[in-house]
Structure 1
Amino acid sequence: MGNNIEGKVVVVTGASSGLGEATSRHLASLGAKIMLGARREDKLAAIVNDIRGAGGEADYLVTDVTVKSEVLKLVQKATSSFGRLDVIVNNAGLMSIAPMSECNTDEWDRMIDINIKGVLYGVAAALPVFEKQESGHFINISSVAGIKVFSPGGTVYSGTKFAVRAISEGLRHEVGGKIRTTSIEPGAVESELKYGSSHEDSSAFVREFYENNEIPSDSVARAIAYAIEQPADVDINEIVIRPTVQEF
C-alpha cells in the first residue's frame, strides 16, 4: 500500500464503540495490525472478527483503563502478538455533564480515573517500549472542551481534557526527536460519550446538542490516520476537528 500505516502495530483503548471502534476498523483497512482494548468483550470480539473477515490483522484484550496492570497487559499482548508497538491511541473517555452545585464527586472521580489516569497508564505502558525501539507515536484524545471550558455542566470534564492536552505537550517535549505525540480535540462526534451524564436535564441537553451537530466517528479516524501516515520526522502535534455547524 505504501501508506506508512501498513504493518504498523496500533493499540487502541476504548475500542468497543465510537471513535475507538471506527479508528480500529479504519487503520486495519489500511493494513495496520490492531490490538483493541475495552471492557465489553462481546463487542471487541465482533469487531476483531469483522476485521479478520476482511483480511485484516487484529486481536483484543478486555481492558479497564483505570487499572494500571490491565493497560500494561494490553501493551504487552500487542508486543508479544505482533513483535513491536508503533502507536498507542489513548481514546477511552467518560463525559459526565452536570452543574458543579450537584457535587457529583463520584462522577468527577470516574472522569479523572478514565480521562486522565487512563491516558497516563497508557503512556507508562508504552513509553518504555518506544524508548527501547527509538520510535513510537502517542495519540491522546482530548476534546474541544479541552480548548474552551464547557460550562455550566462540563467544568470537570473540561478540566480532564485540558489535562490531556497539557500532558501531551509536556510528553512531546520530554520524549525527544524519535517519538511522536498527537493530541486530537474532537467536537460533537457520534459515539457513546453523549450517554455518560446521569443528571437528567444535562443529559437531555447533551443528547439534543449531539443530535443536531454530530459528525460520524470515522471523521476522527481519518484524522488519526493522517497523523500516523506522516514521515517519521513529521510530528502532527494537535488536530481540532468539529462539525462545521458547531459553534462551541
Structure 2
Amino acid sequence: MTHPLSTAAPETVKTVLITGASSGIGEATARRLAAAGHHVVLGARRAGRLATLAKDIEAAGGSALPHALDVTDPLSMRAFVQAALDQYGRIDVLVNNAGVMPLSRLDALRTDEWDRMIDVNLRGVLHGIAAVLPTMTSQGAGHIVNIASVSGLRVDPTAAVYSATKHAVRALSEGLRQESRHLRVTVISPGLTRSELADTIADQDTKDAVAGQMAIAIPAAAIGEAVHYAIGQPSDVDVNELVVRPAAQG
C-alpha cells in the first residue's frame, strides 16, 4: 500500500521507534508512519535490510534512521534509544513489535524455543519500556505501542508458550497504563497476518498447519494502519487496545 507524502494529512511530527522493523508488521508500520511525515527509527538484527528500508523511505521523501538492535540485550536497546535521541532530540512513540513464534506441542520439549520466545516476546518488550521510560517521564508525554496477538486472547494447541508471552504483554501493558497519567499505552493484537513470523516454526507438522491457514491472512499494512490510527489520536485520548484480524478468521 502506497501513501505518498505529498497527500498525507497534516499531523504533529513524532519520533517513532520501531523494533523488528526489517520485515512484516514492523516494516509496514515504518512505511506507513514515514509516509505520514513522522521520523521513524528502525531497529532489528538484520542491519542490511534496515539500511535498504531506510533508503526506500528517504527516497520517498521520508525520514528514517536505521540502527542494529537485539531486543534481548538491554544495552543494545539503550543504544537504540540513545541513537534516536541523538538524531531527533526526543522520543514520542515506541512500537514494541519484535517477536518470534516457534510453535510446537509442549511434549515436544523444545525448551530452547520456549526460552527464545520469553526472551524476545516478553523480555524484549520490557527492555524497550525500561529504555524509553526515563525520557518519556522527563518529557511528560509518550506513547508505548505493544504488538501482542490474538493468541494473547486465547490459547490453542502448539501455542501454549507463545500465548503465555502474549498474555503477559497485555498484562504488563495494562499495568503500565494504570501506573501513569502522562503515558499513553496501546496493545494491538493481530490475527493471521502475512509476515515472516511463521518462518520461526521448526516443528514441520505445526509449520504446515499454519501455512494452511495463511490463505485468509491480512497484509501487514493493516496493522501498520492500526498503529497510525492509535498514535494519531488527540493527546488526551488513549486507544488502549485494538484487535485486527481477517474477517474470515474464527
TM over 0.5: yes
How far is 1:3 from its partner?
4.2
Task: Provide the residue aligned with 1:187 in structure 2.
Answer: 191
Aligned-residue Cα RMSD (Å) equals: 0.9
Task: Provide the residue aligned with 1:226 in structure 2.
Answer: 229
- Identify the match of residue 101 of structure 1 among 88, 107, 110: 107
Alignment of 1:196-207 (within 5 A): 196-207=200-211
Q: Aligned partners of 1:190, 1:79: CA distance in 2, in Å?
A: 32
Deviation per residue, 1:18-68 (Å, 9 max, x gap): 000000011000000010000001100000000111111111110010001
Matched, 1:9 2:51: no
Q: Aligned partners of 1:47, 1:26: CA distance in 2, in Å?
A: 12
The number of residues matched between the two structures is: 243
How far is 1:213 from its partner?
1.7
The one-letter amino acid paired with 1:154 is A
- Identify the match of residue 54 of structure 1 among 52, 57, 60: 60
- Identify the match of residue 168 of structure 1 among 160, 173, 182: 173
| Identical-residue share of aligned pairs (%) | 47
Report SS of the residue matched to 1:183: strand
Q: Aligned partners of 1:174, 1:79: CA distance in 2, in Å?
A: 24
- Identify the match of residue 238 of structure 2 among 235, 238, 241: 235
TM-score computed with the length of structure 2 as normaliser: 0.96
Alignment of 1:205-216 (within 5 A): 205-210=209-214, 212-216=215-219
TM superposition outliers: structure 1 runs of 4+ over 4 Å: none
Q: Aligned partners of 2:122, 2:48: CA distance in 1, in Å?
A: 26
Alignment of 1:4-43 (within 5 A): 4=11, 6-43=12-49
Deviation per residue, 1:85-114 (Å, 9 max, x gap): 000000000001101100110000000000
The one-letter amino acid paired with 2:24 is G
Gaps of 5+ in 1: none
How far is 1:236 from its partner?
0.1
Matched, 1:125 2:128: no
Matched, 1:114 2:120: yes
TM-score computed with the length of structure 1 as normaliser: 0.96
Matched, 1:158 2:154: no
Deviation per residue, 1:106-155 (Å, 9 max, x gap): 00000000000000000000110100000000000000000011x21001
Task: Provide the residue aligned with 1:84 in structure 2.
Answer: 90
Residues 183/101 of structure 1: CA separation in 2 closer, same or farther (3 Å cut): same
